[in-house]
Amino acid sequence: MRHLARRGSGFTLVELIAVITLSSILGLVVWRNLSLPIRGFVDVKQRTAIVAMARLALGRMRRELTLALPNSVRVSSDGLALEMLRTSASGRYRAEAVPSDAASNPLNLSATGDSFQTLGAWTIPTSVRTSADVTACLAGTADCLVIYNTGIPSSCAAQTAGTRTNAWCGDNLAGIVSAVAATGVITVNRAAAGTVWPTGSPEQRFFVVDTAVSFICSGTSLRRYSGYALTSTQPIPPSVTGNLLADSVAACAFSYQTGSATRAGLVNLSLTLSVTNPDGVVEKITLFDQVHLPNSP
C-alpha cells in the first residue's frame, strides 16, 4: 500500500511528455491568434508615423510657397531642390504726384535711391529689417523691396545688368532704408548695384522679401534652408545650416510650371518615405501635392 501511494503522488514520463506536447500546441494556437493583430498594430503605427511626417513636410512647403514672390520659384535640373523668395508684405507705390497734395511723393525709378509714398492702407511689417543699401539685402541680412518681378531672363547671364526683371539677378530690388507706418513713406536705395530700376510695375505694385528659402532632398532627408545670400545661380545646398523636415526619405521630386497671362504658376511636390516592418520588409508611401502660385508681378 505504501508503494502504491508513492506511485500515485507523481507523474510518469509519458504523462509529462503529453502535458508538454499539449501545452506547446495550446501556446502555438494562442500565439498565432495574437501575433497577427500585434504585427498589424505595429505596421499601422509605423505607416501612420511616416504618413504624418510626409504630410507635415508637404504642408510646410505649401504654406511657404503661398508666400513666394511671383515668378521667383526655381527648381534644380534633377528635381531634388526647390528655391523661392518669401514675401512678408506687398503694396502699391505712387507713380505720380498729386498737384494739390504736397505730401504725395512718387517713386523715381530713374534714381538709385528715393523715398515714395504708398497708395492706400499698407501695414508695414514690424519685423522689417532696414539697411543703408542693397548690399545687405542681397546678402540676406536685410529685407528687400522688389518691383515687377517677371523672372526674365531665367539665366542672369542672358541679359545686360540693369535690364533684368529677375530678382535673383539683383536688378529690380533695393534695400529698405526706412519705412514709416504713420505716413506710409518708404525710403529705398540700390546705389551699390550701379544701375537704376529696369522698369516699373504697370499696376504700381511692390513686394517686400524677407528671405530666400530652399527645400532640398539629399540622401534620406528633406531639409529647409533660409537666411542666406541671393545668388544668380541656385545654391545646392546654401551655405547655412538646414532644418530637418523629414527623414526616411526614399525619393522626392519637385517641378515648377511657369504661369501665363491666363493661368497661375503650378508647383508639383512628390515625397516618398520608407519604413522597415518587423519582418524586415521595406514599405514605402508616396504623397503628392500641387500648389497654384500667383504670377502677376
pLDDT per position as a tens digit, 245-263: 999 999 999 999 998 777 8
**For residue 110, what are the domain limits?**
86-210
Tell me the residue ranges of DSSP E strands in the chain.
Answer: 74-75, 81-93, 113-119, 144-147, 173-180, 185-189, 205-218, 221-226, 243-246, 249-257, 265-276, 282-293
Q: What are the C-alpha distances in Å from 225 to residues 16, 101, 175, 179, 229?
A: 69, 45, 22, 27, 11
As given in the structure block, the three cell numbers for residue 197 are 530700376
Q: Which of 282, 291, 288 is nearest to 46 (CA)?
A: 282
Total domain count, the chain: 2
pLDDT at 146: 97
Among candidate residues 180, 210, 240, the one where a domain is terminated: 210
Asked if residue 153 and residue 91 are part of one domain, the reply reads yes
- Pick the residue with more confidence: 101 or 147? 147
Residues 101, 199: one domain? Answer: yes
Residue 1 reports pLDDT greater than 60: no
- Picking from 210, 237, 259, the residue at the C-terminal end of a domain is 210
Q: Is residue 15 part of a domain?
A: no
Q: Which residues are CB-neighbours of 162 under 8 A, at least 6 positions away?
A: 171, 193, 194, 195, 196, 198
With H, G, I as helix, E, B as strand and everything else as coil, classify residue 268: strand
In this structure, the number of other CB atoms found within 10 A of the CB of residue 46 comes to: 15
- 228 is written with which cell numbers? 542666406
- Most confident range, picked from 44-48, 51-55, 238-242, 282-286: 238-242
Which sign does the torsion angle of CA 287, 258, 123, 88 carry?
positive
The burial of 93, by beta-carbon neighbours within 10 Å (0-12 exposed, 13-18 middle, 19 or more buried), is given as buried
Residue 38 has pLDDT above 80, yes or no: no
In a domain, residue 24? The reply is no
Biggest CA-to-CA distance, the chain: 132
**Per the domain annotation, does 154 fall within a domain?**
yes
Which of 194, 210, 226 is the last residue before a domain boundary? 210
Does the residue 43 lie in any domain? no
Q: Is residue 1 part of a domain?
A: no
Q: What is the radius of gyration, based on Cα positions, of the chain? A: 32
The pLDDT of residue 37: 64
Residue 198 or 182, more confident: 198
- Residue 141 has φ and ψ, to the nearest 5°, of -105, 0
Residue 207's nearest CA partner among 73, 93, 127 is 93
Q: What pLDDT sits at residue 276?
A: 83
Q: What does the block give as the cell for 83?
A: 528655391
Please give the Cα distance from 187 to 210 (Å, whole number). Answer: 16
Looking at the fold, whether 168 and 216 belong to one and the same domain comes out as: no
**Mean pLDDT along residues 30-34:** 63
Residues 183 and 165 in one domain: yes
Domain assignment of residue 11, yes or no: no
> Tens digits of per-residue pLDDT, 199-212?
999 999 999 999 99
State whether 60 and 117 are in the same domain.
Answer: no
CA 71 centroid distance within chain: 15
| Side-chain-facing half-sphere of 275: CA atoms under 13 Å | 18
Half-sphere exposure of 223 (CA within 13 A, CB side): 14
Place of cell 503661398: 66
Q: What's the average model confidence in pLDDT over 165-188?
A: 92
Residue 295: its pLDDT value, please?
A: 86
Give the distance, in angstroms, between the CA of residue 50 and the centroid of all CA atoms in the same chain. Answer: 19
Q: Is 201 found in the same domain as 216?
A: no
Q: Where are the alpha helices (DSSP H) in the chain?
A: 2-8, 13-65, 134-139
Q: What tens digit of pLDDT does each residue of 109-129 get?
A: 999 999 999 987 676 666 789
Give pTM, 2 decimals.
0.84
Mean pLDDT for 280-297 is 89
- Please determine, for residue 32, whether its predicted confidence score (pLDDT) is greater than 70: no
Rounded to an integer, the average pLDDT of 232-243 is: 96
Is 234 inside a domain boundary?
A: yes
Beta bridge partners of 254: 269
Identify the residue with better confidence: 270 or 12. Answer: 270
Residue 275 pLDDT class (50, 70, 90 cuts): confident
Inside any domain, residue 8 = no
